[in-house]
C-alpha cells in the first residue's frame, strides 16, 4: 500500500521562479501595485460571513469601505490636483483586486469612487473636481450614480428624467415624470448615499423663450442631509433583497420638483449660463452624448477586470480541490484516483483556465489603453477619435466576454466540486450569485456585442470605400496575410499561408500563425457576409421600418461577427504575452495554455469552420484530439498555473482549497492502509 500523501503525485518541473515569472506576466504593467495590495495584512478580513442578514451585511460593508478610504485605497485614479495619484490604470487594478475579498465591498467601492467620483472627474470642471472629489475620496460625501432607469437600462440616450432650467432662480428643476423613469438599481441609494450624479434630459433657454432640449447631461442632486434625512422632493425606495451583492444598498430614486443650483450641472461638455443660454464645445447632440459616455468607460473596464478576478478565484478553488479529492479505484490499482487525473474533469476545467488566462492578458492591454488615453486627456492633450472609439469598442467586447466567462467558470467549478462546492463556506455559491449581475450591468452583454459589430461595420466602410467585388476580395486577402505576418513576425510564412486552411499536418495545429490565420479568416468572412446582408437597408427608397427589419433579421450574424472579432483580439493579447515572457520554461508553459485557448475557440465553433470549408472533417477531429493531448500535458502543472494568479493563501478562504480535503484524504489513505496491514 502506498504511503499517505498530502498532495497527489506530480511530475511538474515548474519551479517557484517559473510560477513567479508567469504571475508577473499575468499581473501586467501594474504588478508593483498588485504586490502592494497583496501585502495588506488586513485584506483577508475584508469579507462578510455567508448567511449574514442584509442589514448587517450592509453595515459591515460600509465599515470596510471606510477602512479602505482611511488607508488611501481610493486615491489612485483621481487627479493629483485634488490629492489623488493620477494613476488611472492603478485605480482599475486596485478595484480588480477586491474581487478576491467581498464582492459587495468591491461593487460598493466601485459605485463610490469609480462611478460617482468618476462622473465628477470625467464630466465635471476643474472647479467642480476641487469642490467635491476630496470628500468623495475620504468618504465624507457618499454618493450614487443615477443613470439606469426602470424603463431605460442600456438605452441611456432615451432616459426620461428631466432637469429644466429656471432662469428666475438660476436653478435646475429635476423631475421624474413616470414610474419607468425612476432611477433604479442605484448602489448607495437605499441607505448611505447623500448625493447622486443624475443623468437627465437637459432643458434650457434664454429668459423669455421656450425651453429647448439639449440631450443627456449629468446633474449633482443632494439626496440626504448630514443626519441622513431624505431631502424634500426626493423619493427613495429600497430595491430589497437580491440574488447576490446584498451588502450593496441598491435603491430607486425619484425626484419631484427638486431644485439644485446651476453650478450643480457637470459642465465639462455643456454648460448653461445664468440667463439660460446653453453652450457646448461639441455642437452635435449625438456626438456630445457619446463623448460623455466614452469618458465614463472606466466603469465598464473595471467590471470586466473584476469578472476575470472572480473566475481566477473559482478556478483556484476547484483545481486545488480536484488535486486532492480522490474517487474510484483503478482496476489493479492500490488506491483511489485523483479526480483531476480524469480527462473528463480536465476537459471541464482546463479550457476555462486557458480562456481566463487569455482574458486576463486582454484585460491588461485594455487597462493600459484606458490609462494612456485618459491620462493624455487629463493632461490637456488631444485624443485621437479613432483610438477613443477603439477603446470603447474593446471595453464593450471584453466586458461581455469576461463576464460571460465568469458566469460559466464559476458554475462549472461549482459542479466540479460536487456537494462541497454547494457549501457556502467554499465561496463558489456566493461568487456565482454575486457575479451573475455582471452580465447585465455597465451594459447588457448582447447590446455590447452589437456595439462592437456596429463599430466593425463602420471600420469596414472606411477601409473599403468604393472597391468593386474583385477589389474587395483582393483587399481582404492581402490584409489578412499582412496582419498575420505582422503579428507573428514570421514573414517567411507568407507563401504557405496563401494555401488552404485545410492543408498541412497536425503539427500545424500548434502553430500560432495557423491559429491566427484561421480566426482572422472567420472574422473577415463573417463581417463580409454581414455587410452584404445589411447593404439593402441603405438602398434608395428603403423605408425606415424596412431598414430595421433587415437589420433585425441579421442580428444573429451581427453577434457572431462581433464574437469572431473579439476572439481574435484576445488571442493576439495572449500571443503578445507569450512573446514578452523572458523565462523560457514559463514561455513554453504559457504557450501550451495559449494553444489550448486557441483550439478551444475553434472547437466551440467547429460547425462554422466545417460548414465554410475552413477545416476538413479530419482536421476537426484532430483539433479535439490535440485538446485532449494538451489537457494531459498541462495536468502536472495545474497547481502551478493557478498559483500564477498570485492569490495569497489567506485570501482564498475556502476550506476545500486550503487543506481540509487533503487532511480527509490522508486520513482515508491511512485507514485503508491499516485495514490492509
Q: CB 435: neighbour CB atoms within 10 A?
A: 25
Q: How far is CA 265 from CA 123, 293, 392, in A?
A: 9, 16, 25
Spatial contact of 218 and 266, defined as CB atoms under 8 Å apart: yes
Instruction: Tell me what pLDDT residue 462 has.
Output: 62
Spatial contact of 269 and 292, defined as CB atoms under 8 Å apart: yes
Report the CATH fold assignment for 449-643: Butyryl-CoA Dehydrogenase, subunit A; domain 3 (1.20.140)
Which of the 8 DSSP states describes residue 441?
T
Spatial contact of 8 and 323, defined as CB atoms under 8 Å apart: yes
| Phi, psi values for residue 149, rounded to 5° | -110, 155
**CA 372 remoteness from chain centre:** 18
Q: CB 379: neighbour CB atoms within 10 A?
A: 8
Instruction: Tell me what pLDDT residue 498 has.
Output: 38
Instruction: Tell me what pLDDT residue 513 has.
Output: 93
CA dihedral of residues 665, 666, 671, 674 (deg, nearest 10): 140
DSSP string, 348-392: HHHHHHHHHHHHHHHHHHHHHHHHHHHHHHHTT----HHHHHHHH
Q: Which of 616, 627, 624 is nearest to 504 (CA)?
A: 616
Which of the 8 DSSP states describes residue 4?
P
Spatial contact of 406 and 435, defined as CB atoms under 8 Å apart: yes
Spatial contact of 186 and 108, defined as CB atoms under 8 Å apart: no
Q: Which of 433, 457, 458 is nearest to 527 (CA)?
A: 457
Instruction: Tell me what pLDDT residue 536 has.
Output: 85
Going 508 to 511 to 517 to 523, the CA torsion angle's sign is positive
**Active-site residue, from 442, 523, 626, 661:** 442
* Residue matched to cell numbers 487525473: 341
Instruction: Give the C-alpha separation, 353 to 458, whole Å.
Output: 34
Instruction: Give the C-alpha separation, 433 to 424, whole Å.
Output: 11
Which class for 304: exposed (0-12), middle (13-18), buried (19 or more C-beta within 10 A)? buried
Q: Which of 56, 53, 67, 52 is nearest to 98 (CA)?
A: 67
Helices assigned H by DSSP within 215-342: 285-295, 297-324
Q: Which of 657, 641, 648 is nearest to 101 (CA)?
A: 648
pTM of the shown model = 0.91
Here the cell at position 430 is 456566493
**CA 7 remoteness from chain centre:** 34
Q: What share of the chain is helix, strand, coil (3-state, %, to 5)?
A: 65, 10, 25
Spatial contact of 108 and 116, defined as CB atoms under 8 Å apart: no
Half-sphere exposure of 474 (CA within 13 A, CB side): 5
Spatial contact of 125 and 224, defined as CB atoms under 8 Å apart: no
For the chain, residues classed under CATH 2.40.110.10 are 145-279
Q: Which of 494, 123, 105 is nearest to 292 (CA)?
A: 123
Contacts of 496 (CB under 8 A, 6+ apart): none
> What is the β-pairing status of strands 326-329 and 278-279?
unpaired
Over the range 235-250, which residues count as b (16 or more CB within 10 Å of their CB) and which as e?
A: ebeebeeeebbbbbbb
Spatial contact of 65 and 109, defined as CB atoms under 8 Å apart: yes
CA dihedral of residues 352, 358, 361, 363 (deg, nearest 10): -70
Spatial contact of 428 and 410, defined as CB atoms under 8 Å apart: yes
DSSP helix/strand/coil, 397 = helix
For the chain, residues classed under CATH 1.20.140.10 are 35-115+296-439, 449-643
Here the cell at position 569 is 483580439
DSSP helix/strand/coil, 184 = strand
Instruction: Give the C-alpha separation, 313 to 337, whole Å.
Output: 25
Instruction: Give the C-alpha separation, 473 to 516, whole Å.
Output: 19
DSSP string, 278-302: EE-S---HHHHHHHHHHHTHHHHHH
Please indicate whether residue 227 is annotated as part of the active site. Answer: no
Question: Please, what are the averages of pLDDT over each run of 10 residues along the chain (677 residues)?
Answer: 35 83 97 94 87 94 95 92 95 95 95 96 95 97 95 88 96 97 96 97 91 95 96 97 95 98 96 95 88 88 96 98 91 85 97 98 97 87 84 95 98 97 95 95 90 84 50 47 49 39 66 94 92 83 87 91 96 97 97 98 96 93 96 97 96 93 88 79
Instruction: Give the C-alpha separation, 626 to 63, whole Å.
Output: 51
Spatial contact of 646 and 24, defined as CB atoms under 8 Å apart: no
Instruction: Tell me what pLDDT residue 467 has.
Output: 41
| Phi, psi values for residue 25, rounded to 5° | -65, -45
Over the range 473-487, which residues count as b (16 or more CB within 10 Å of their CB) and which as e?
A: eeebeeebbebbbeb
With helix as H, strand as E and coil as C, how does 225-268 read? Answer: CCCCCECCCEEEEECCCCCCCCCCCCEEEEEEEEEEEHHHECCC
Contacts of 519 (CB under 8 A, 6+ apart): 564, 567, 568, 571, 598, 601, 602
Q: How far is CA 192 from CA 107, 142, 176, in A?
A: 14, 7, 21
Q: Which CATH architecture has domain 35-115+296-439?
A: Up-down Bundle (1.20)
Angle in degrees, CA 210, 214, 215, rounded to 5: 135
> What is the β-pairing status of strands 171-175 and 251-261?
antiparallel
Q: Which of 409, 415, 414 is nearest to 438 (CA)?
A: 409
| Phi, psi values for residue 233, rounded to 5° | 85, -15
**CA 227 remoteness from chain centre:** 37
Instruction: Give the C-alpha separation, 29 to 507, whole Å.
Output: 34
Q: Which CATH architecture has domain 145-279?
A: Beta Barrel (2.40)
Q: How far is CA 460 from CA 141, 475, 555, in A?
A: 46, 11, 17
Instruction: Give the C-alpha separation, 434 to 339, whole Å.
Output: 28
Amino acid at each position: 500500500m502506498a504511503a499517505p500523501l498530502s498532495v497527489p503525485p506530480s511530475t511538474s518541473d515548474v519551479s517557484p521562479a517559473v510560477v513567479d515569472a508567469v504571475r508577473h506576466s499575468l499581473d501586467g504593467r501594474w504588478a508593483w501595485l498588485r504586490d502592494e495590495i497583496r501585502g495588506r495584512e488586513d485584506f483577508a478580513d475584508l469579507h462578510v460571513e455567508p448567511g449574514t442578514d442584509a442589514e448587517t451585511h450592509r453595515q459591515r460593508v460600509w465599515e470596510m469601505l471606510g477602512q479602505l478610504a482611511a488607508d488611501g485605497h481610493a486615491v489612485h485614479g483621481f487627479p493629483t490636483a485634488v490629492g489623488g495619484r493620477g494613476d488611472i490604470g492603478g485605480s482599475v487594478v486596485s478595484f480588480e483586486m477586491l474581487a478576491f475579498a467581498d464582492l459587495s465591498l468591491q461593487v460598493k467601492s466601485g459605485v463610490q469612487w469609480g462611478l460617482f467620483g468618476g462622473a465628477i472627474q470625467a464630466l465635471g470642471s476643474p472647479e467642480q473636481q476641487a469642490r467635491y472629489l476630496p470628500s468623495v475620496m475620504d468618504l465624507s460625501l457618499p454618493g450614487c450614480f443615477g443613470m439606469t432607469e426602470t424603463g431605460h437600462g442600456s438605452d441611456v440616450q432615451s432616459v426620461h428624467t428631466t432637469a429644466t432650467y429656471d432662469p428666475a432662480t438660476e436653478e435646475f428643476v429635476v423631475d421624474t415624470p413616470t414610474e419607468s423613469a425612476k432611477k433604479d438599481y442605484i448602489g448607495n441609494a437605499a441607505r448611505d448615499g447623500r448625493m447622486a450624479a443624475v443623468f437627465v434630459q437637459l432643458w434650457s433657454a434664454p429668459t423669455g423663450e421656450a425651453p429647448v432640449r439639449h440631450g443627456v447631461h449629468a446633474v449633482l442632486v443632494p439626496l440626504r442631509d448630514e443626519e441622513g434625512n431624505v431631502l424634500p422632493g426626493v423619493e427613495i425606495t429600497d430595491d430589497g433583497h437580491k440574488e447576490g451583492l446584498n451588502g450593496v444598498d441598491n435603491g430607486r430614486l425619484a425626484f419631484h420638483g427638486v431644485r439644485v443650483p446651476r453650478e450643480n450641472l457637470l459642465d465639462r461638455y455643456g454648460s448653461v449660463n445664468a440667463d439660460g443660454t446653453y453652450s457646448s464645445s461639441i455642437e452635435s447632440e449625438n456626438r456630445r452624448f457619446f463623448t460623455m459616455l466614452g469618458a465614463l468607460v472606466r466603469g465598464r473596464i473595471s467590471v470586466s477586470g473584476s469578472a476575470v478576478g472572480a473566475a481566477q478565484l473559482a478556478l483556484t478553488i476547484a483545481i486545488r480541490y480536484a488535486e486532492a479529492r480522490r474517487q474510484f479505484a483503478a482496476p489493479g490499482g492500490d488506491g483511489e484516483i485523483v479526480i483531476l487525473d480524469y480527462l473528463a474533469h480536465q476537459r471541464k476545467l482546463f479550457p476555462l483556465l486557458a480562456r481566463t488566462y487569455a482574458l486576463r492578458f486582454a484585460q491588461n492591454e485594455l487597462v493600459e489603453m484606458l490609462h494612456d488615453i485618459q491620462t493624455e486627456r487629463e493632461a490637456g492633450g488631444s485624443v485621437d477619435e479613432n483610438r477613443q472609439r477603439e477603446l470603447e469598442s474593446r471595453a464593450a467586447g471584453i466586458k461581455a466576454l469576461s463576464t460571460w466567462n465568469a458566469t460559466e467558470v464559476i458554475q462549472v467549478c461549482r459542479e466540479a466540486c460536487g456537494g462541497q462546492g454547494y457549501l457556502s463556506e467554499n465561496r463558489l455559491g456566493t461568487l456565482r450569485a454575486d457575479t451573475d449581475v455582471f452580465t447585465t450591468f455597465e451594459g447588457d452583454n448582447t447590446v455590447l456585442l452589437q456595439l462592437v459589430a456596429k463599430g466593425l461595420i463602420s471600420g469596414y466602410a472606411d477601409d473599403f470605400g468604393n472597391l468593386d467585388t474583385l477589389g474587395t476580395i483582393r483587399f481582404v486577402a492581402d490584409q489578412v496575410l499582412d496582419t498575420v505576418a505582422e503579428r507573428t513576425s514570421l514573414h517567411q510564412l507568407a507563401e504557405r499561408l496563401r494555401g488552404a486552411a485545410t492543408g498541412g499536418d497536425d503539427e500545424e495545429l500548434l502553430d500560432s500563425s495557423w491559429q491566427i490565420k484561421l480566426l482572422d479568416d472567420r472574422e473577415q468572412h463573417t463581417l463580409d457576409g454581414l455587410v452584404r446582408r445589411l447593404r439593402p437597408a441603405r438602398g434608395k427608397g428603403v423605408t425606415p421600418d424596412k431598414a430595421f427589419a433587415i437589420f433585425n433579421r441579421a442580428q444573429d450574424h451581427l453577434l457572431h461577427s462581433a464574437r469572431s472579432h473579439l476572439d481574435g483580439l484576445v488571442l493576439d493579447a495572449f500571443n503578445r504575452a507569450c512573446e514578452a515572457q523572458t523565462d523560457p520554461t514559463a514561455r513554453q508553459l504559457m504557450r501550451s495554455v495559449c494553444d489550448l485557448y486557441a483550439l478551444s475557440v475553434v472547437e466551440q465553433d467547429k460547425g462554422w469552420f466545417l460548414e465554410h470549408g475552413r477545416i476538413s472533417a479530419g482536421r476537426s477531429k484532430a483539433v479535439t484530439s490535440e485538446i485532449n493531448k494538451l489537457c494531459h500535458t498541462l495536468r502536472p502543472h495545474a497547481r502551478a498555473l493557478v498559483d500564477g494568479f498570485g492569490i495569497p493563501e489567506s485570501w482564498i478562504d475556502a476550506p476545500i482549497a486550503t487543506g481540509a480535503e487533503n487532511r480527509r484524504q490522508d486520513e482515508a489513505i491511512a485507514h485503508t492502509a491499516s485495514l490492509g496491514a
